[in-house]
Structure 1
Amino acid sequence: MQNFAKKVLDLGAPYLIGLTVSKVAALLAGEVYIGMESLAKFVIALALLLTSFDIVVRMAASRKQRWNFAKHGTDTILIVLFSIVFDCVSCEADGSTCRYCRATRLMLPFAVLVSLGGNMMRFKRKQKPPAESGNADEVETATVGTSGTAGPAVE
Structure 2
Amino acid sequence: MNKTFEQETIEVFINSLERFYQQINLDEIEIGVPYLLDSNEPIVEDFTGIIGISGQRKGCVYYTCPRAMLSYILIAMGENEVSNNHLCDLAGEIANTIAGNARKFFGAEFLISVPVVLQGEPEKINLPQNTRCIVIPTKWKFYESIIVVALE
Q: What is the TM-score when the length of structure 2 is the normalising length?
A: 0.29
Q: Which has the higher contact order (CA 8 A, sep 6+)?
A: 2
Q: What is the TM-score when the length of structure 1 is the normalising length?
A: 0.28
